[in-house]
C-alpha cells in the first residue's frame, strides 16, 4: 500500500488545524451570550492531533512491520475515525444553530459558515480515510491464518523444479 492515505491524514490534520485557528477568534455568539460549539470543544485542536498520530503510526507500520506498530496503527485509525465522526456531528450541529440564530446578523457569518463547511468536508474525508485504513489493517492483521515456510537452498542457484511450489494448508 502506498503512503498516499497516510500522508493525506497528516495534511488533512494540518489544514483542519489552520482552519480551526482561523475560526477560533470569531465572536459569533457574543450577542446572544451563547458559545461556539466547535471552538469551545476544541475540535480544531484534538482532532488534528489524533489525525497526526494515526498518520505517523500508519507510515511507521508501513516502513517497519511489527506487531506493535500494526496494532497501534489499527487502534489510532479507529480512534481517528471516531474523532472524525464526533467532529462531523458537532460541525453539523454548529451549522444548524448558526443558520437558525445568527446567520443574517453579522457580515462575517457567511465566511464563518464557509470555513465550517470546509472543516466538515475535511473531517468527512479524514473519517473515510481512517475507516478505510482500519478495515485494511484489520483484514491484513486480524485474519492471518496462513503460514509462510521459507526453506533456504544450500547451493547458490535455485533448483528449477522448486521455484513455484505451492504449499496448501488445511
Least confident of 47-56, 119-128, 154-163: 154-163
Q: Which carries the bigger pLDDT value, residue 109 or residue 167?
A: 109
pLDDT of residue 145: 58
Helix axes 43-63, 67-101, angle to 10 degrees: 150
Of 101, 10, 105, 110, the closest CA to residue 54 belongs to 10
Helix axes 4-23, 43-63, angle to 10 degrees: 160
Alpha-carbon distances, residue 80 vs 17, 23, 34, 117 (angstroms) = 15, 22, 29, 19
Rounded CA-CA distance 115/101 in Å is 18
What is the per-residue pLDDT across 117-144, written as a single tens digit (0 to 9) for each?
A: 999 999 999 999 999 988 888 887 766 5
> What cell does 112 get?
464563518
What is the per-residue pLDDT across 57-70, written as a single tens digit (0 to 9) for each?
A: 988 888 887 888 88
Give 155's pLDDT tier (boundaries 50, 70, 90). low
Note the pTM of the prediction, 2 decimals: 0.74
DSSP codes of every residue in 83-124: HHHHHHHHHHHHHHHHHHHTTTT-TTHHHHHHHHHHHHHHHH
Amino acid at each position: 500500500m502506498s503512503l498516499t492515505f497516510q500522508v493525506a491524514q497528516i495534511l488533512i490534520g494540518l489544514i483542519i488545524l489552520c482552519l480551526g485557528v482561523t475560526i477560533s477568534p470569531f465572536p459569533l455568539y457574543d450577542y446572544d451570550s451563547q458559545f461556539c460549539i466547535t471552538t469551545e470543544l476544541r475540535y480544531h485542536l484534538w482532532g488534528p492531533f489524533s489525525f497526526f498520530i494515526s498518520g505517523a503510526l500508519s507510515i511507521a507500520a508501513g516502513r517497519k512491520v511489527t506487531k506493535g506498530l500494526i496494532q497501534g496503527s489499527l487502534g489510532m485509525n479507529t480512534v481517528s475515525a471516531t474523532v472524525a465522526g464526533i467532529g462531523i456531528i458537532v460541525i453539523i450541529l454548529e451549522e444548524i444553530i448558526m443558520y437558525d440564530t445568527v446567520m443574517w446578523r453579522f457580515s462575517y457569518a457567511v465566511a464563518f459558515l464557509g470555513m465550517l463547511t470546509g472543516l466538515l468536508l475535511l473531517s468527512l474525508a479524514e473519517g473515510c480515510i481512517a475507516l478505510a485504513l482500519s478495515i485494511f489493517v484489520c483484514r491484513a492483521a486480524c485474519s492471518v491464518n496462513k503460514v509462510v515456510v521459507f526453506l533456504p537452498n544450500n547451493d547458490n542457484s535455485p533448483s528449477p523444479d522448486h521455484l513455484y511450489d505451492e504449499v496448501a494448508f488445511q
